[in-house]
Amino acid sequence: MLENDLLLSTFAKKYLNNFTEEQTMMYDRLINSPSNDWDIFYWMVEKKETPEEFDNEIMNLLKKHAKNEERHSLRQPDL
């Protein structure tokens, strides 16, 4: 899903290198466990309540990233 690709790739570029091992595991579970990409998107943009198992510091950081309060122009990072 393009929306998730954009949000998750820019999030990973910005934060992933500074994550602890525990934070990396939380992020990995989040992006690999739900069977529906739309669920992750709706949790990030706060249109659906985040299930307890994914309601953690990484999801809170993703929600903040999705809000883009600084109004940065987002584009997928170069590979």
Dist CA 47 CA 56 (whole Å): 17
Output 75 or 12, whichever has higher pLDDT.
12
Average pLDDT over residues 37-61: 95
State the pLDDT at residue 72: 58
Confidence of residue 2 (pLDDT cuts 50, 70, 90): confident
Greatest CA separation for the chain: 33
pTM of this structure: 0.80
Question: Over 70: is that where the pLDDT of 76 sits?
Answer: no
Segments making up each domain of the chain, as ranges: 2-67
Q: What is the mean predicted confidence (pLDDT) over 8-29?
A: 95
Residue 36: pLDDT above 90?
A: no
User: Which residues in 22-38 are b (16+ Cβ under 10 Å) and which e?
Assistant: ebeebbeebbeeeeeee
